[in-house]
Each structure stands twice: as structure tokens, then as C-alpha cells.
Amino acid sequence: MEELREFLMKLNKYEPEFSVVIGSGLGSLLENVDISETIPYKEIPDFPISTVMGHKGEMVFGKLANKNVVFFNGRVHYYEGYSMKEVTMNIRVSSMLGVKGLIVSNASGAVNPLLYPGDILLIKDHINLMFGDNPLRGEKGNEKFVNMIDAYDSEYRKIFSKIAHKKGINVREGVYCAVPGPNFETFAELNFMSRIGADAVGMSTVPEVILARFLGIRVLGLSCVTDNVFIEGLVTHSQVLEVADKCGKTLSSLIGNFLEVAK
């Protein structure tokens, strides 16, 4: 970890105010960014490497809407064999760089049958079904008992909703459910998630949000709904990436407008 700290000291010159975690197939989020430097994950000490298609695996420093931002173009997942501490290394690095706000994005499947491929879900809360591990496991002191009420910052959500409304883009608030993966869900599992209040399901994000709240970083959570098995009956990873790419272009515009006013 000391080697990582020394590595990041050389990057403090960028002074990022926000970090953005780019989910599956959402690399188009970078299209409007004035990029200063790109660093592959494999060159960062102690940093896990993405192994899944749709996650390029690079840390990108740049400007968006006149804000200094660090982008994590691709994440690693628990199902890849990484520990929760490794899965959330992007958030720990964000904190080391002095980031105060986090925009976390992902691709998800519809649990609510009224959500359709291409819809944007503004995450207002989550359900954690990633049993067995937690990024705060082993942390010392009482600070690890993090309050997760309003984990997805209500002020950030209001700002984002107003921007989407002004642009005529339909954004729906909802609950994201996190599962370990990597298999997609059965109909029975989706029905169970619906009964406990979930609107969409994915295999990421929640561990990152838990650590972000522990580190005092405010969070905006965005999910691109890429499939609805209640309509299509089958989902493939290639379909997820195709829909996410289109959705990412819309998200890029919204995130840029959000950064113009968010603090």
C-alpha cells in the first residue's frame, strides 16, 4: 500500500474533485472528456486488473464540465475471484486522491417489469445480497459501523433529476439489488427480488458505495437497464454491452450537466 501511496502522489497535480466508476459497456462516458492522462490498471501498484469484456481497465484523468475528474474505465467484480477489498480499491484510491464526490454507474437487469432496455435508473437505495464478505470487514474502530441511510445522496439525486427533466430524458428513481454473479438470475430469483422491493439487479456497485460512505465520499448512483427477461426471456452479455453503449452516450451528457453545478 505504501508503494501505491507514492505512485498516487505523482498524480495529485490533477486534483480530482469527483471520481466516476464506468460500468459494463459504458466506456462512451469518456467521449466528452478532455483527457490529461490515461494509466492502465496493470501499471498501478496493488491495483486489481479487469478481466471482463466491456471493462477496459484504466484510470483516466481529465476535465468534464470544467471539473477535475478521475475516471475508472472498468471495474473488477467479486465473481472474478477478487476480495471485497480488491473490488473497492478504486474507491480507496479516489479517497487518497482527495475526491469528495463519486458517480458510480453500472449495467443492470430489470426486476421491475415496467423498466425497459435503455432506461436510466437513478439509484435511491440498494439491497445487498452479496452475502459472505464486506469491504469494511476487518476495519478497526467504531467507524466501520457506517450509517447507510441516504447513502445515495438526496441532494445529488435532486440535481440530477432536474437536469434530466429539463433535457426531456426520462429517469426513474429506484432500488438496485446487488448479487455476487456471474450467472444471470432465474425467474424465481427475480420474483423474490421484486417482493423485497428491488427495481433492478446487477453484480457490482454496492461494495463501492459502502466504502465510499465509510470514507466520507458523497455518492450519485446511476444504472443503465440493459435487459428485461419478462419481455425477452433471455439475456446475453453481448446484449448487455450493446445496450449499455447506447445508454452511455445519454448518461455522458447528463453527467456533464450534473458536474457543472454539483459540489
Measure the CA–CA gap between 212 and 218, rounded to whole angstroms. 7
Strand 171-178 relative to strand 120-128: parallel, antiparallel, unpaired? parallel
Range of the domain at 256: 2-261
Strand 58-64 relative to strand 34-40: parallel, antiparallel, unpaired? antiparallel
- DSSP 8-state secondary structure symbol assigned to residue 171: E
C-alpha cell at 166: 429539463
C-alpha cell at 151: 447513502
The owner of cell 465510499 is 212
Going by pLDDT thresholds of 50, 70 and 90, the confidence category of residue 257 is very high
Mean pLDDT of 39-54: 88
pLDDT over 80 (residue 70): yes
> How many domains are there within the chain?
1
Question: What CATH number has the domain bearing residue 26?
Answer: 3.40.50.1580
| Amino acid (1-letter code) at residue 76 | V
Measure the CA–CA gap between 171 and 177, rounded to whole angstroms. 18
Measure the CA–CA gap between 57 and 42, rounded to whole angstroms. 8
pLDDT over 70 (residue 260): yes
Going by pLDDT thresholds of 50, 70 and 90, the confidence category of residue 92 is very high
Among residues 130, 122, 63, 57, which one has the least CA distance to residue 89? Answer: 57
Mean pLDDT of 199-227: 96
- Average pLDDT of the chain is 91
Mean pLDDT of 66-95: 95
Q: CA 154 from chain center: how many Å?
A: 17
Among residues 83, 71, 73, which one has the least CA distance to residue 16? Answer: 71
Measure the CA–CA gap between 115 and 92, rounded to whole angstroms. 33
